[in-house]
């Protein structure tokens, strides 16, 4: 009898550890049901400019200063999700988690000077060194999702069992 109870407890504990974490909602949430691949947006940004889309991926980075942006990565490509400062705040703990975000794609051509300044700002936020020579000759196109809402599932806890997804 005790062996059965112990076995049942072990099975239930393992099952609980492998369940995906419940998603936390930010801003207006996510209403669109079909996701657009990040690669499709980055490969043809002008086709998506001004359009409302849903994207998903792993949270690769979060604004260290105010949580006002996160970077989603999918299939080796990354898209920045920028939200209104103070209205939505992405937590640093989201890094490594899965996220779905919705908003409007913004595409902006930038001069080398503006692009270099922007890259220097991003490096400063992260406390990283920046070399203006690394920017190259252009063209300089800035593509981001102006986020209105997101849902983020926390990354698995260190040492927790994983279901391989």
- For the chain, domain boundaries: 21-153
Q: Which superfamily, per CATH, for 21-153?
A: Nucleic acid-binding proteins (2.40.50.140)
Residues 27-63: tens digit of each pLDDT: 999 999 999 999 999 999 999 999 999 999 999 999 9
Q: Do 105 and 48 meet the contact criterion of CB atoms below 8 Å apart?
A: yes
User: Count of residues for the chain?
Assistant: 165
β pairing state of 77-82 and 52-62: unpaired
Q: What is the pTM of this model?
A: 0.76
**Confidence (pLDDT) at 155:** 85
pLDDT < 50 positions in the chain? 2-19, 161-165
């Amino acid at each position: 009898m005790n062996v059965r109870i112990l076995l049942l407890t072990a099975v239930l504990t393992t099952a609980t550890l492998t369940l995906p974490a419940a998603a936390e909602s930010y801003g207006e949430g996510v209403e669109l049901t079909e996701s657009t691949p990040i690669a499709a947006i980055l490969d043809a940004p002008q086709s998506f400019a001004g359009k409302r889309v849903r994207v998903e991926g792993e949270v690769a980075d979060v604004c260290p200063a105010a949580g006002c942006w996160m970077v989603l990565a999918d299939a080796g490509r990354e898209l920045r999700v920028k939200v209104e400062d103070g209205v939505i705040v992405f937590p640093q703990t989201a890094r490594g988690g899965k996220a779905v975000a919705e908003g409007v794609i913004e595409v902006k051509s930038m001069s080398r000077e503006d692009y270099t300044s922007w890259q220097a700002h991003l490096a400063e936020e992260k406390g990283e060194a920046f070399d203006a020579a690394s920017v190259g000759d252009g063209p300089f196109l800035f593509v981001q999702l102006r986020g209105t809402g997101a849902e983020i599932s926390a990354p698995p806890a260190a040492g927790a069992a994983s279901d391989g997804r």
